[in-house]
Structure 1
Amino acid sequence: MRKLLPSLLFLLLKLSYTFAGSPFVATTWAFTQATINAWEQLNSYDLALDALTVGCRTCQAMQCDFTVGYGGSPDENGESTLDALIFDGNTMNMGAVGGLRGIKDAIGVARKVLENTQHSFLVGSLATAFAKDMGFPEESLTTNYSSNQYETWKESNCQPNFWQDVTPDPTKSCGPYKPKSTCSLRRRHPDPILTNEIPQDIPESVFNTGNHDTIGMIVMNAYGHLVAGTSTNGANHKIPGRVGDSPIPGAGAYADSEVGAAVGTGDGDVMMRFLPSFLAVEQMRQGATPSQAAQTAIDRITRKYPSFFGGIVAVDKNGTVGAACNGMDRFPYTVANRTSNGAVVYYADCKQT
């Protein structure tokens, strides 16, 4: 009888494991191969962090939409730099890199920050030095595609760009730019709450479905361990040194295994000002559905920036997925779970502001 007890205990633990949660992978955009690879990894080893790393690494290698990984979104110097984040919903620990230069595996470096340091965020050339110490090879992130993007942009007088309140006129030239002497004296954006008007002089976003900035991924294993992460090469034609929302916790991604997780994509310079991923998780904590939580996060942004371009994917701890968006007709996101028979692309209809 005693010999049967360990076997019986193992069986009970296995049954408990099987029904402990509803494992899934959810990803921004129609990044199906990244979702499939993450799901297969999750099924093989049931380690959420490994699945997330594999999924984001897939998009980096595939150069998804040329907005993830090397060889895309060159800055004003023609250089591609990378941002990435991993957020662990069990420990509330994170690892992130911003403006990473000369290292292709941004999500891998972010994970090293998570697991091998007591820090949260490393940036720039010193993040490259850290990555090299961790065994990552330094190599060029430039490709023929990114070089052609850069040259075409230069030939069009550096249009579009992200400059404002500078001289010479940034809509007609490539600079170099200097600040206008009257810049600090002008109130550029009137308060729509006081004037009851939408500001008319906010520059049009250069973000769109071809320049959307990020893969955001959420993974939950059968134990209910939630993790969220991002990887991106940032905004095309960005001012050198720019880091977007993707590696910032609560902006690009956020997770709490007791509640849910969320990821964002789009105009990161605007999104980081509102911490939409954190807000969506907190809305779910208060009882909102994932769809309601994502919409609240989008509404918080569009109240100030009506033409904002972006989307939020939110998932609760039960595996229910929702999304919301603005600035496009429909926002695709991809889900894999036990009932999906592979990766399935869903679409959120964007609320028109």
Structure 2
Amino acid sequence: MSDRRRFLQAGLLATGALALPALSAAQARAGHSGARVVSTWDFGVPANQVAWPVLAAGGSALDAVEAGARWAESDLCNPTVGHCGNPDREGVLTLDASIMDGDGRCGSVAALEDILHPVSVARRVMEKTPHVMLVGEGAQQFAISQGLEHRRLLTPQAEQAWREWLKTSRYQPEINAERRGMPGNSENHDTIGMLAIGADGKLAGACTTSGMAWKMHGRVGDSPIIGAGLYVDNEVGAATASGVGEEMIRNAASFLVVELMRQGRSPMEACREAIDRVVRKRPEASKTLQVCFLALNKHGEVGAYALHQGFVYAVCDAGKQDDLRQSASVYQTTQS
């Protein structure tokens, strides 16, 4: 992990260092305790801080999660999200994103190149087309037709990292590799997933990523797959996932978490049970990969669970806007 990121995470966990000015009385009334936004990983704190004013002003959960995800795509510089993402093994940066409203409407894009805000393309797919998913060149053409920003996104730093990787061409995602200072690997599971509930009680979610570094060209993970990386239902709650996307797809994981909440589990219980299913199906593989779930039910209750230690998530509401929490995990120590 970089010194910057280590400092950010340690400071947030210890002291809630990123404080915001107090909300005005009008904002507090609009964003009452029922409104809440939650996000995966430490950069979920600033993403939430972008999303929260939308909720505090009485805006929709859908607008809030799009705003937070857009920040992650353009203002955050992280090797697994947005414009600073690492490319595939051919040196091509491709982006995936999805967005879902609690009424069942949803949209997504996959293998999208050189469009700054894939989450907004996903929303346009949801609202402007009869489809749910667009991919590759077709997704790019649609984005351009909608007036969304089109420019080369691959950064010199990401290109250099790819050239270093080419020296070995080793592809083996590691648990918390960046945190253990392993060159040639990246924090391959730091997708940002966001879930929100508005003052009106309606839910929405968004997920955006550049996917696994050095993946095969054309590989798509769980983030743009409705039901795998994201699922939202106003009657129950919402869930998002982070980690090795193939495992989420194999288990329809986010849909599973929501359905477990429908059956009466708390958000944390639902996340834990979904993790247990991953372990039961692939017990040996589960020792070498990370899987994380974050859930929010219709009452605003939040829960999370991870396969391996190290998953953190951010919670923001009218009472606290810089709350970073450590998730429980099945395995209490990461593999060394």
TM-score range, shorter chain: 0.7 to 0.9
> Which residue number in structure 1 is paired with residue 314 of structure 2?
334
> Which residue number in structure 2 is paired with residue 319 of structure 1?
300
1:87 aligns with 2:100: yes
Q: Measure the CA separation in 2 of the matches of 1:122 and 1:206.
A: 30
How far apart are residue 207 of structure 1 and its match?
A: 5.3
Any idea what the Cα deviations from partners look like across 1:56-85, whole Å, max 9, x if unmatched? 001111335321101322101111110000
> Which residue number in structure 1 is paired with residue 59 of structure 2?
46
Segments of structure 2 that go 5 or more residues without pairing to the other structure are: 1-25, 179-186
Q: Measure the CA separation in 2 of the matches of 1:19 and 1:269.
A: 37
How far apart are residue 149 of structure 1 and its match?
A: 1.1
Segments of structure 1 that go 5 or more residues without pairing to the other structure are: 1-13, 162-204
Q: Measure the CA separation in 1 of the matches of 2:31 and 2:331.
A: 40
> Which residue number in structure 1 is paired with residue 250 of structure 2?
273
- Structure 1 outlier segments of 4+, above 4 Å: 17-21
> Which residue number in structure 2 is paired with residue 219 of structure 1?
196
Q: Measure the CA separation in 1 of the matches of 2:242 and 2:77.
A: 14
Alignment of 1:146-225 (within 5 A): 146-155=158-167, 157-160=168-171, 205-206=173-174, 208=176, 210-225=187-202
1:37 aligns with 2:18: no
Q: Match for 1:56: what amino acid?
A: A
8 Å CA contact 1:83, 1:100 repeated in 2: yes
How far apart are residue 260 of structure 1 and its match?
A: 0.5
Task: Rate the CA distance shift 1:224–1:20 in 2: closer, same or farther, 3 A.
Answer: farther
Alignment of 1:228-243 (within 5 A): 228-243=205-220
How far apart are residue 42 of structure 1 and its match?
A: 1.6
Q: Report the secondary structure of 2:251's partner residue.
A: coil
8 Å CA contact 2:77, 2:83 repeated in 1: no
> Which residue number in structure 1 is paired with residue 23 of structure 2?
none
Identify which of 91, 99, 108 aligns with 1:78: 91
How far apart are residue 299 of structure 1 and its match?
A: 0.8
How far apart are residue 213 of structure 1 and its match?
A: 4.1
Any idea what the Cα deviations from partners look like across 1:261-285, whole Å, max 9, x if unmatched? 0000000012211011111111111
What TM-score results when the alignment is normalised by the length of structure 1?
A: 0.79
> Which residue number in structure 1 is paired with residue 16 of structure 2?
none
Q: Measure the CA separation in 2 of the matches of 1:275 and 1:282.
A: 11
Q: Measure the CA separation in 1 of the matches of 2:64 and 2:157.
A: 29
Two-structure CA RMSD over aligned residues (Å): 1.9
Q: Report the secondary structure of 1:34's partner residue.
A: helix
Task: Report percent identity of matched pairs.
Answer: 38
Q: Measure the CA separation in 1 of the matches of 2:315 and 2:58.
A: 19
1:138 aligns with 2:150: yes
* Structure with max Cα Rg: 1
1:347 aligns with 2:333: no
